[in-house]
Amino acid sequence: MKQDMILILDLGSEENPRLAREIRDLGVYSEIYPHDISPEELKALPGVRGIILNGGPNCIVDGVEIDAGDHVYNGPVPVLLAGVKGKHPWPAEPEERKAALSRFVFDTCGAKANWNMENFIADQVELIRRQVGDKQVLLALSGGVDSSVVAALLIKAIGKQLTCVHVNHGLLRKGEPEQVVEVFGKQLDANLVYVDAADRFLDKLAGVADPEQKRKIIGAEFIRVFEEEARKLSGIQYLAQGTIYPDIIESGTKTVKAVKSHHNVGGLPEDLGFQLVEPLKMLFKDEVRACGVALGLPDEMVYRQPFPGPGLGVRCLGAITRDRLEALRESDAILREEFAKAGLAGKVWQYFTVVPDFKSVGVRDGARTFDWPVILRAVNTVDAMTATVEEVPWGILKGICDRVTREVAGVNRVLYDLTPKPVGTIEWE
């Protein structure tokens, strides 16, 4: 293995992710495991140079104070008991904290600052090969950042032993399915099964106006399509997933309760009978992007703005119709183009269009029109719990209005949504 690692064992601190980040910022790789890691699990971890038992307010679980096993204390590497009240609290001052950490990591443990993406990728390639052997792996490739980076990593590690299934549910943005086929099918020469299921999804959604019902239908249909494809393939033993560290944090640990349950792509059921391959599960989002860049994925894929699983389905308000979906896809593409041209694409967190299910009167070439409006939304946020509205310069808004009303069929009005979250949510449905 190319990288040294400092292991953090969770003794009830909510600060473990921050600590892992701080150690990685020193240039040393770090991973977090539950306090009750078994001797076998511990032995199997590569490159461990030291262990930090990081305690905190959640150290009492089911009425008992948790602790690590003797094998941790009596093992071959230095152990630091930190953070626990009265023992070795971390200094509050950032520079002192960094110095304390650095003394343990470098002086006590003798770790080398060799954490970088090239080494991470080299290690993961080896670990994936070790885990998978000569078996076959399946991946639901949505084209989102996480599944794309997993795909690229697995292609590097096991090539044609990976089969990617891309389900086009007809609710993707303009050019997205084509990009998946181009990048993974052609450039990276992956085994790619492309499923055009647009009609199937739209038929299922016909006449359904309730947002949660729409989400349920899209989620359930996704699983059905994916399972059908999985059944056609024989000899698959592993399922790869783009789980990343924030998903794991949100799902809760043994000492911290779940914020929300983790739904991977489309919420695949656990009873498919596969073992999981999750090579990104210890990475933070910016590290996942850096990994994607190092693997040679295009910037538009790696720096893609967040896009909801149900896709354009929750932006074509009410019961989805094909004409409004088309207007939505085209107006969204124009918005993205104009934001890119204006240098806003990398700056604004999320921006998209919405097409409501009512019409308004307009006039074009001297004749009355009765067409759909398009709503523009552009927001900034840190964690999507609250959001502020981007103050897009007037000239850019006017340019977008001009293009949308000229180029998108069935649209005669453009509006800008001024509502922060709260009171509005980011999406309209």
Q: Which stretch binds ligand XMP (CB under 6 A): 80-88, 165-173, 304-312, 406-414?
A: 304-312
Q: Which stretch binds ligand XMP (CB under 6 A): 88-96, 154-162, 195-203, 420-428?
A: 420-428
Q: State yes or no: residue 266 binds ligand XMP (CB under 6 A).
A: no
Sole binder of ligand XMP in the list 310, 317, 371, 374 (CB under 6 A): 310
In this complex, which beta carbon is closest to ligand XMP, that of residue 12 or of residue 309? 309
CB of 260 closer than 8 Å to CB of 304: no
Instruction: Quote the CA–CA distance of 228 and 58 in Å, as a whole number.
Output: 43
Q: State yes or no: residue 250 binds ligand XMP (CB under 6 A).
A: no
Q: State yes or no: residue 426 binds ligand XMP (CB under 6 A).
A: yes
In this complex, which beta carbon is closest to ligand XMP, that of residue 143 or of residue 310? 310
Q: State yes or no: residue 421 binds ligand XMP (CB under 6 A).
A: yes
Q: Which stretch binds ligand XMP (CB under 6 A): 64-72, 155-163, 307-315, 319-327?
A: 307-315
Q: State yes or no: residue 425 binds ligand XMP (CB under 6 A).
A: yes
Q: State yes or no: residue 215 binds ligand XMP (CB under 6 A).
A: yes
Q: Which stretch binds ligand XMP (CB under 6 A): 180-188, 390-398, 411-419, 421-429?
A: 421-429
In this complex, which beta carbon is closest to ligand XMP, that of residue 31 or of residue 417? 417
* Smallest separation, CB 312 to ligand XMP (Å): 11
3-class secondary structure, 118: helix
Sole binder of ligand XMP in the list 253, 350, 353, 412 (CB under 6 A): 350
Helix (H) or strand (E) segment spanning residue 278: none
Residues between 143 and 162 with contacts to ligand XMP, criterion CB under 6 A: none
CB of 172 closer than 8 Å to CB of 311: yes
Instruction: Quote the CA–CA distance of 29 and 376 in Å, as a whole number.
Output: 42
Q: Which contacts (CB < 8 Å, 24+ apart) does range 196-204 have?
A: 196/168, 197/167, 197/168, 197/169, 197/170, 197/221, 197/225, 198/168, 198/169, 198/170, 199/170, 200/225, 201/169, 201/170, 201/171, 201/313, 202/170, 202/320, 202/322, 202/325
Sole binder of ligand XMP in the list 309, 329, 378, 392 (CB under 6 A): 309
- The number of residues that bind ligand XMP (CB under 6 A) is 11
Q: State yes or no: residue 220 binds ligand XMP (CB under 6 A).
A: no
Q: Give me the residue label for tokens 């596969």.
A: 274
The DSSP code sequence of 301-332 is: HHTPPP--TTGGGGTB-SS--HHHHHHHHHHH
Q: State yes or no: residue 285 binds ligand XMP (CB under 6 A).
A: no
Residue 163 makes CB contacts below 8 A (sequence gap 6+) with 136, 137, 138, 139, 191, 192, 193, 233, 236
Q: State yes or no: residue 427 binds ligand XMP (CB under 6 A).
A: yes
Residues between 374 and 393 with contacts to ligand XMP, criterion CB under 6 A: 384
Amino acid present at 287: E
| Cβ neighbours around 397 below 10 Å, total | 15
* Smallest separation, CB 386 to ligand XMP (Å): 9
Q: Which stretch binds ligand XMP (CB under 6 A): 54-62, 64-72, 120-128, 306-314?
A: 306-314
The DSSP code sequence of 196-216 is: E-HHHHHHHHTT---HHHHHH
Length of the chain: 429
Instruction: Quote the CA–CA distance of 93 and 77 in Å, as a whole number.
Output: 27
Sole binder of ligand XMP in the list 306, 346, 393, 398 (CB under 6 A): 306
Q: Please report, as ranges, the residues that interact with ligand XMP according to CB under 6 A.
A: 215, 306, 308-310, 350, 384, 421, 425-427
